Structure 1
Amino acid sequence: MTYSLPPLNALRAFEAAARHLSFKLAAHELHVTPAAVGQHVKALELRLGVRLFARLHKQLVLTADGQAYLVGISDGFRRIADATLQLKPRCAVLLQVGVPENFELRRLDLEHFRSTHPDIGLRILQPAGLHELVERKVDALIGRGLRSHPGYRCDRIDKGTEVGDRLMAPEGTAECPEVMSLRDWLRSRSAGALRTERRRSGEIGLARR
Structure 2
Amino acid sequence: MSYRLPSLNGLRAFEAAGRHLSFKRAAEELSVTPGAVSQQVKHLETTLGVPLFHRLHRSLVLTGFGETLLPTVSDAFERLSAASDAVARTLETRALRLGVSPRLAADPEALLAAVAGGGRAPDFIRVSRTDEVADLLNGSLDALLRPGPGPYPGLHAEHVALNDAFAPHREASLVVWPGLARCRELLKVKALLGRG
Task: Provide TM-score, normalisation by structure 1.
Answer: 0.46
Q: Give 1 or 2 for the bigger CA radius of gyration.
A: 1
Greater relative contact order (CA < 8 Å, ≥ 6 in sequence): 2
Which structure shows the higher helix fraction?
A: 1
